[in-house]
Amino acid sequence: MTHISSPLPLLGWREWVELPELNIPHIKAKIDTGARSSALHAFAIDPYRKGGQRWVMFTIHPQQKNVEVSIECHAPIKDRRLVSDSGGHKQRRYVIETPIILGQSVIIAEMTLTNRDSMLFRMLIGRTTINNHFIIDPNASYLQGNPDHHKNLSETSI
């Protein structure tokens, strides 16, 4: 086994993250270097205007295999883009920008909103979000621990 020495934090193929501005205290995310963008599970997506700005309301089931727990989220709309999923299907998705807490790091990340009910993970973190911030160990999981236990966060913006 080769040991990589790097000043960058190490991520496993899945990690716990926190989305504080969306009031999501923890959600399990798959780290996917094959995906360019990050995606967040969302349903009941409803765009609206607030103070002249475009916003989106959506609901999320943050826990895998549990549709009983749901959180209503609100965020400014950054964009609306045509995104191809892993099967090559194109879908126009809302794009939001929000901080995500990954271990000791806070990263401002763009993410698309899409229904991921049929997917195992409610959140996918793509390479644009993790680029230049982390090294990935595909053999490991949860190297950054649980986000509820981290203090003294450093902010990094993409």
Q: Give the C-alpha distances (Å, rounded to integers) separating 152 from 4, 65, 108.
A: 25, 32, 17
Residue ranges and CATH numbers for the domains of the chain are 10-150 (2.40.70.10)
Give the phi and the psi of residue 13 in degrees, each rounded to 5. -75, -15
Report which of 61, 62, 74 is spatially closest to residue 147, judged by C-alpha positions. 62
Q: Residues with Cβ < 8 Å from 6, sequence gap 6 or more?
A: 135
Sequential DSSP letters for 76-119: E--EEEEEE-TTS-EEEEEEEEEEEEETTEEEEEEEEEE--TTS
Contact 122, 115 (CB under 8 A): no
| Ordered per-residue pLDDT tens for the chain, 158 residues | 555 567 889 999 999 999 999 999 999 999 998 888 899 999 999 999 999 999 999 999 988 888 889 999 999 999 999 988 777 788 899 999 999 999 889 999 999 999 988 788 999 999 999 988 899 999 999 999 875 544 444 344 33
